[in-house]
Amino acid sequence: MKTVFSRRDLLRSGAIAAGGCLLPFHTDVTPAQAAVARAIASPVRLGLASYTFRNFTRSQLIGFMKQLKINALNAKDVKDHLPAEPQEEAKALADYAAAEIKLHAAGAIYFTKDEDEDIRSKLEYCKRGNIPVIVAGDPTPENLPRIEKFVKQYDIRIAIHNHGPEDQLWHSPLDVLKVIKNMDPRIGCCIDVGHTVRAGTDVVEAIRAVGPRLFNIHMKDLTDFQNKESQVAVGDGMMPLRPIFETLIATRYNGFVDLEYEVHPDDPMPGVTASFGHMRGVLAGMGYAAGA
């Protein structure tokens, strides 16, 4: 049975778990499970896609992350979150380091030119920040061999992001897999769960199929898997969150599950707080501490 948390439940709980993680009111979590969750670190690591706070400055983003008790960031060159200009990028990296925020991915980054210099500049951008994964928005099958050459040189992984039925190339992670299956193992997928279900693909099966080539997850929820505009806070829609987490654990996924909350860009914190509360509650129900 799918457990849905109302916003009232979430606000009423105000509970702080022993590890400092916010847990929602969750009727399925017994005191015994909560005790175990305080002892067993979650193999599912939660992070944030900075695009969620695209209308807010880096300073505000850092403040929100402190409130959310999240220290893992998938940064994008939006506002001043992670500027591409080297000197400004260095300032951003220093701010994140001072706030003890770790950048585990950057993107989406768009590879619009099949040119060495353009591709090199994007990998240099991530190399400067010691960022191990590039979430790639729109590489084409034709320019992937050139990208592959730089992946080998820089030892940075490329995670191709699927964008659903509107995407001319990458509707689902399975479309990505067909093209990259014989390429360097550092070329893989960023599964956007919302776009995946809208493409008519079973997201749990997609995670299994992609396996070791899964480098990043963009998490969101929808009330209608045919409607892009039906996005809601995670837990308020139809996304099979627990089976997703169980499959990530079974396939030994070692990346991050990054919340990408794309609605209410001028006031995202209520939905973002509810989303992390729900994800942490599901992990607690599975017997895990909700790790950031």
Instruction: Write out pLDDT tens, residues 38-85.
Output: 568 999 999 999 999 999 999 999 999 999 999 999 999 999 999 999
Is the distance from CB of 284 to CB of 278 less than 8 angstroms? no
Taking Cα atoms as reference points, which of 196, 200, 281, 199 lies closest to residue 245? 281
Is it the case that residue 104 has pLDDT exceeding 70? yes
Assign a CATH topology to domain 7-285: TIM Barrel (3.20.20)
Runs of H (alpha helix) within the chain: 7-13, 31-37, 58-68, 86-98, 116-128, 144-154, 173-180, 193-198, 203-210, 241-250, 269-285
Nearby residues of 147 by Cβ (< 8 Å), 6 or more positions away: 111, 119, 136, 139, 158, 187
pLDDT of 5 higher than 50: no
Residue 107 clears pLDDT 60, i.e. is over it: yes
Question: DSSP class of residue 230?
Answer: G
Q: Residue ranges of the domains in the chain? A: 7-285
- The answer to whether residues 16 and 289 touch, using CB atoms and an 8 Å cutoff, is no
Would you state the pLDDT for residue 39? 61
pLDDT category, 105, cuts 50, 70, 90?
very high
State pLDDT tens for residues 150-161: 999 999 999 999
Please tell me the predicted confidence (pLDDT) of residue 30.
63
The whole-angstrom distance between residue 193's C-alpha and the CA centroid of its chain comes to: 10
Share the mean pLDDT of the chain: 89
pLDDT band at 292 (very low <50, low <70, confident <90, very high): low
Per-residue pLDDT at 168: 85
Residue with tokens 């994800």: 279
At 200-252, the pLDDT tens digits run 999 999 999 999 999 999 999 999 999 999 999 999 999 999 999 999 999 99
Kindly report the CA angle at 41 between 40 and 46, in degrees rounded to 5?
A: 145
Q: How far apart, in Å, are the Cα atoms of 29 and each of 38, 113, 167? A: 12, 50, 40
Q: What pLDDT is recorded for position 38?
A: 58
